[in-house]
Amino acid sequence: MTLRRPAESRFVALRRLRMHYLDWPGEAPAVVLLHPNRTNARVWDFVVDASRRATRFIAPDQRGHGLSEYPEQGYELDDYVEDTIELFDALKLEKVVLVGAATGGNIALLIGSRVPERVAALVCADAGLSLDPSINARVQKEIKHAFRFPNLATAKAQMPFSALWSPAMRDHYARYSFKELPSGEVEWRYHVPGASHTEHRLEEDMWHRITVRCPTLILRGDRSAVFPPKNAAKLQGLIPGSETGEVADCDHRISQDQPQAFAARIDDFLARRLDRSS
């Protein structure tokens, strides 16, 4: 599949690491897209391609993921927050729209609470808030036992949360998410200890840290066990004027299960809540 709107692949030197990011040029304010734990910026390609906005989109590979640097330490949620704010500064982004999926949703909420003056609007999709320990245990098992594979075909068949992905999504994401080794084996492009540490942190209570006040859209996949309806309702209660909704035929990875529907929800929300107020 050829994307209508391909991204430019770029690198930037931050204070603590060299970060890779995808950049789709366009108008301000930029929409900054934050990916889930264990993934990379390529979860967003089809969402941006489906968007009808003329906005600039920026999707970083978080530390220890994708093509960014893999430091040995620094995998607390606050480390990702610091990196992202440094990215704003490095790219001279005075104000942004944040879209965070899964762990990226947690990070977006913390950024919106810490530097509210930098965030014009926020979309939080299926965040890992008070993650069920049984889900964490399953993810930890995948990190430990399903990181390296004999070949790409085997790896592609075992991608987590991928049951609802289209064949085009599977092929595209696998292309960018595995590294081929001299032995012919392939392994995921993420730092195992870092991803494991971050996943453990998702069980912790961070509700008291959420003080977002910008226009906010809270989405969940209608089949997701990671972000149950009670958590969506609790988050809505913490953010005045926020909206909630479900995306049909989605599990936890909304950006890959239903990228066109996700893009449409983002486009509609920003048109109503951001464009009309500017």
Tokens read off for 147: 């990181």
What pLDDT digit, counting tens, does each position of 106-117 carry?
Answer: 999 999 999 999
- Supply the pLDDT for residue 233: 98
pLDDT(4) > 70: yes
pLDDT(48) > 80: yes
Q: What is the DSSP letter of 209?
A: G
Q: Compute the CA torsion angle 63, 68, 69, 75 (nearest 10 deg).
A: 10
Alpha helix positions (H), the chain = 45-50, 77-90, 103-114, 133-145, 152-157, 167-177, 192-201, 229-238, 254-257, 259-273
Domains of the chain: 8-129+209-277 (3.40.50.1820)
- Supply the pLDDT for residue 278: 60
Average of per-residue pLDDT across 211-240? 98
- Supply the pLDDT for residue 180: 96
Tokens read off for 34: 């934050």
**Residues 221 and 246: beta-carbon distance below 8 Å:** yes
Closest C-alpha among 42, 22, 58 to residue 177: 42
- Supply the pLDDT for residue 1: 59
Closest C-alpha among 240, 186, 217 to residue 100: 217
